[in-house]
Homo-oligomer: A and B are copies of this chain.
């Protein structure tokens, strides 16, 4: 398996923006709703190319979600994007009843994910929406690991029928997947082979996991790194195979460890193959201002913490 190399840095939100443009070029019934932060969640790209299919909603995330539902029930494929703090929390009742209970073909883009948002501070650093969206029936939840995957995921979620939420970030993060790196909704990918431990990560933490794995290899620990870019539905097969073959799992996410990706994996493991697991994520705290790197280090969202957790979990193997 080819090793992933650092190809530069670019925020996943730009992949979302470019993916929307591709969808707009391919399909005339793709519509985008703008929530007054279009230049930040990059729906502005679509707006420039397809002004007739872009509608500004102003600052009303709840109603934008309802309008998207109405569009979907009229045969359109609407995307509404805002910061995740508002695209998943301000409209939770709308996501539950109007979007998911209706099984409406609504696509939500949630930006400013995690504390890597930086100086804006806690209010804008959403760390809870993986839990909120994955508990909703009929919802599909995607967390791309980098720019290229974000673009593929956005196109895929448009072409797929059903409610879907994509989570992306504000800050430039490592690019390491290529145009030919496969992406499929519902499929987790092994990005690095190894049988001592499985690191299941999503979003920018996938790169941190790869970095951690390299360092661990120097110490003779072979970590399997899995990019869990679809959190719902979870790729049970790939993750259970990893649990079986590695006997220990570490989850890594830029989210509360409570009820997030780690929670989804924990639920799968105890039900099928209970192996030791450690969680890398935010430990039931709110974020704060600071620059992204400082914050990621302070909150333990780096390869360093992953390495510690890997050693902890390996020590716990029977």
- A residues at B contact (CB < 8 Å): 85-86, 89-90, 92-93, 96-97, 100-101, 122-123, 128, 131-132, 134-138, 232, 249, 256-260, 262-264, 266-267, 269-271, 274-279, 284-286
Contact = CB atoms under 8 A, between A and B. Distances in A.
Nearest to A260: B135
A274 B274 contact: yes
Given A86-B93, A270-B275, 4 more contacts: A90-B93, A101-B123, A128-B135, A263-B267
Given A270-B274, A277-B271, A258 B89 contact: no
A249 B270 CA distance: 9
Contact of A135 (B136, B259, B276, B278): B259
Given A96-B85, A276-B274, A132 B134 contact: no
A72 B269 CA distance: 41
Nearest to A269: B270
25 contacts: A85-B96, A89-B96, A90-B92, A92-B92, A92-B93, A96-B128, A128-B136, A132-B132, A134-B258, A135-B256, A135-B258, A135-B259, A137-B285, A259-B263, A259-B267, A263-B263, A263-B264, A266-B267, A266-B269, A266-B270, A270-B277, A271-B277, A271-B279, A274-B275, A274-B276
A61 B275 CA distance: 42
Contacts of A131: 131-132, 134-135, 259
B137 A256 contact: yes
A200 to B, nearest CB: 12
A134 B284 CA distance: 9
Contacts of A260: 135
A226 to B, nearest CB: 16
A101 B286 contact: yes
Contacts of A128: 96, 135-136
A270 B276 CA distance: 5
Contacts of A138: 286
Nearest to A262: B267
Contacts of A249: 270
Contact of A278 (B86, B263, B271, B275): B271
A232 B259 CA distance: 12
Contacts of A278: 271
A136 B100 CA distance: 22
A257 B276 CA distance: 21
